[in-house]
Amino acid sequence: MSIHQPPAANAVHAAGSVLRARRLGIDTYQHLVVYLRRDSPVCRAEGFEAQSRIELICGALTVTATLNVADSELLELDEAGLSDASWRALGVRDGTPVQLRHAAPLQSFAAVRAKLQGRPFDDAALLAVAQDIVAGRYSDIHLATLITACSGSHLDLAETIALTRAMVAVGQRMQWPAEVVVDKHCVGGLPGNRTTLLVVPIVAACGLIMPKTSSRAITSPAGTADTMEVLAPVSLEVEQMRQVVRREGGCIAWGGGVALSPADDILIRVERALELDSDGLLVASVLSKKVAAGATHVLIDIPWGRTAKVRSEQAARQLANRLEACGQALGLHVRCVLSDGSQPVGSGIGPAQEALDVLAVLRGQDDAPQDLRQRALTLAGLLLELGGKAAQGQGEALALQTLESGAAWRKFQGICAAQGGMRELPQACCSQVLTARHGGRVVAIDNRKLSTLAKLAGAPRAAAAGLRFHAPLGTVLTPGQPLLTLYAETPGELRYALDYAETQSALVTVEDA
C-alpha cells in the first residue's frame, strides 16, 4: 500500500517561512528559544504555538529551538527574536534572514521508549540518539528521559560500549605524535579530591604526554576544570591545546571547549540538575572523552565509601570491571584503582578552596594537606609505571622525587603560562565559621552533605564559594571548636547555605573521645 503524494508539497516545504533575526538579549542558559509574535503571519500559517519545537535554518546551519509566543510589542511581525543561546548557535546578526519550520519528529527517541519497555539499545539506535542530541533535537524532557532510562545499572556492557562509540563518533578526535599518551580520571564524589592538578605536572615533568581534558562539576561543588579555571584559562580550542601539550607535555583543559564528546556535555547539564548517577553514562562519558582526546593508557581512580559517589567496594569493583572491559573494546589500556572514599581529601571544597590545597602541595608548604599529597603521589606513580617511565613498584619514588625537587611546581607554572597565564585566586566576600556544639571524636563525615553545603554557597559557579573543613576523621572536638568555614560571593548564598546547615544534624558524627 502506498500513498499518493502531490508533487507541490515538497516545493512549498523547501521554501519555508523566512523572518529577520533579532537578538532579544535574553539569557536562557543553554536553551535555544525563539520568540515570535502571536499575530505574525508565520505563526498562523505554520500553526506554531507556545513550546512548539521549531527548526531555525540559516545558511548551512540548522538548530532546533523552543517557541515562546510574544503578545506584546517586543518584536515586529516579521522578526524572529532569538535568545542568547539561539543567537550563538546560529551565528547571525540583526536582520539576517532565518527560515523557520516545524521540527521533524524525533525518530531516535523511539529507541528510548523501547528501552523503557525492556528492549536494549543497539549500536545504530545509540548513534542516532547521539547525533540528534548534538544537533540539539532533544528537548530537556527528552534528555531527562534518556538519562533516566540509562540511570543506575540500566545499561549493560554492550550498550555502554555502543554509547561510548556513538559519543566519540559525533565529536572531534585528537591525535598526538606519540605512541604512549596517558590520561587519568577520578569518578568523583569525594569533595576536594583534586589530584589531577598534581598528577599532570608530575608525569609531564617526567616526560609523559598527558593532554588532560576534564569536565566541569556534574553533581559536585567543583570539577577539575572548575578548579583549574581559578588558576589559569581552561577553555582552550583544539589548536591551543595542541600547542600547550607540544610545549609542556601536558595540559589541564576543559573538555567542553574542545568538543571532544559534545553529546556528553549536553547530557551533563541535565544530569547535574537531576543529580542522577548512572554506571553506563559514567563509563561512556569518561571513556568517550579519553578516546577522543587520543589517550592510549588511562588510570581511573574510584574512591568508595558510605557517602562517596560509589558506596561500596562491590560497586567500585563492578564499575572498575565495566570501565576496563569497555576500554578494551575501544582499544584503550585502562587500569582502575580503588581508594578510600570515607572523607573529603584536603581541606578545601569548591574551586578556589581546592586550588589553595593544590598550590600548597606543589610549593611544598608545611600546611599542605598530606592526604591529597599522598593520593597524588600514588596515582602519579602508577601512571608513570603504566606509561613505561618507571619499573613496576618504582613509580611512586620517581613521583616523590619530581614533587620534592620542585620540578612538578615549575611544570605546573609552565602549563598555566602556556594556557594563557596564571591567575590570582578569587576572594570570597562573605564567610561564616560553623562550630561544634558538642565535643567528641569525629568518627564519620557525610561527604554528600558537605558537597551540598558548598553548592548552596554558590560553588562551582561562584569560584570563591565553598568551604574549608577543619575536622577530619579522628579529630577530637571540643564544644565551640570550628568545624568548617563557609565562603560565599553573595550574602544571599551564604544565608542559603546556613539555612541548610541548620536543618542538617549529621554533617559529622562524633563519639565520646
380/501 with CB nearer its own copies: 501
CA 133/CA 111 separation, integer angstroms: 14
**Given 265, 277, 279, 301, which residue is catalytic?**
277
Q: Smallest distance, Å, CB 274 to its own copies?
A: 6
Alpha carbon separation from 60 to 57, 98, 100, 261 (Å, rounded): 7, 11, 14, 22
> Is residue 95 near its own copies by the rule CB under 8 A?
no
C-alpha cell at 408: 612538578
Q: Which residues contact 173 (CB under 8 A, 6 or more apart)?
A: 260, 291, 292, 294
CA 409/CA 202 separation, integer angstroms: 8
Q: Which span sits near its own copies by CB under 8 A: 37-45, 183-191, 260-268, 282-290?
A: 37-45
C-alpha cell at 18: 523566512
How many Cβ atoms from other residues are within 10 Å of residue 350's Cβ? Answer: 36
Kindly identify the residues of this chain, within the stretch 468-497, that bind its own copies according to CB under 8 A. 480, 483, 488-493, 495-496
Kindly identify the residues of this chain, within the stretch 494-513, that bind its own copies according to CB under 8 A. 495-496, 498-502, 504-510
Residue of 402, 298, 347, 311 lying closest to 193 (CA atoms): 347
Alpha carbon 512 to chain centroid, angstroms: 40
Q: Smallest distance, Å, CB 352 to its own copies?
A: 15
> Is residue 143 near its own copies by the rule CB under 8 A?
yes
What is the pattern of x (binds its own copies, CB under 8 A) and - over residues 416-435?
----------------x-xx
Q: Which span sits near its own copies by CB under 8 A: 128-136, 222-230, 376-384, 453-461?
A: 453-461
Kindly identify the residues of this chain, within the stretch 8-27, that bind its own copies according to CB under 8 A. 9-10, 12-13, 17, 24-27
Q: Smallest distance, Å, CB 508 to its own copies?
A: 5
Pairing status of strand 79-82 against strand 33-37 = antiparallel
C-alpha cell at 224: 577539575
Which helix (DSSP H) or strand (DSSP E) does residue 289 occupy? helix 279-292
Q: Smallest distance, Å, CB 281 to its own copies?
A: 12
148/243 with CB nearer its own copies: 148
Q: Smallest distance, Å, CB 236 to its own copies?
A: 24
Q: How many residues bind its own copies (CB under 8 A)?
A: 95
By CB atoms closer than 10 A (0-12, 13-18, 19+), residue 3 is exposed
> Is residue 463 near its own copies by the rule CB under 8 A?
no
Sole residue written with cell 540539539:
136
Q: Smallest distance, Å, CB 457 to its own copies?
A: 9
In sign, the C-alpha dihedral spanning 255, 257, 259, 264 is: positive
Residue of 172, 273, 258 lying closest to 212 (CA atoms): 258
C-alpha cell at 463: 569560584
418/471 with CB nearer its own copies: 471
Q: Are 400 and 204 spatial neighbours (Cβ–Cβ below 8 Å)?
A: no
Is 277 known to be catalytic? yes
Alpha carbon 214 to chain centroid, angstroms: 7
> Is residue 119 near its own copies by the rule CB under 8 A?
no
> Is residue 117 near its own copies by the rule CB under 8 A?
yes
What is the pattern of x (binds its own copies, CB under 8 A) and - over residues 39-78?
-----xxxx-xxx----------------xxxxxxx----
> Is residue 462 near its own copies by the rule CB under 8 A?
yes
182/445 with CB nearer its own copies: 445
Q: Which residues contact 320 (CB under 8 A, 6 or more apart)?
A: 300, 302, 336, 338
What is the pattern of x (binds its own copies, CB under 8 A) and - over residues 237-276?
---------------------------------x--xxxx
Q: Smallest distance, Å, CB 2 to its own copies?
A: 4
75/161 with CB nearer its own copies: 75
Q: Smallest distance, Å, CB 494 to its own copies?
A: 8
Preceding omega of 303 cis (within 30 degrees of 0)? no
Kindly identify the residues of this chain, within the stretch 328-387, that bind its own copies according to CB under 8 A. none
Alpha helices in 29-122 (DSSP H): 41-46, 84-90, 109-116
Question: Residues 93, 173, 410, 438: which binds its own copies (CB under 8 A)?
Answer: 438
> Any idea which residues carry the catalytic annotation?
277
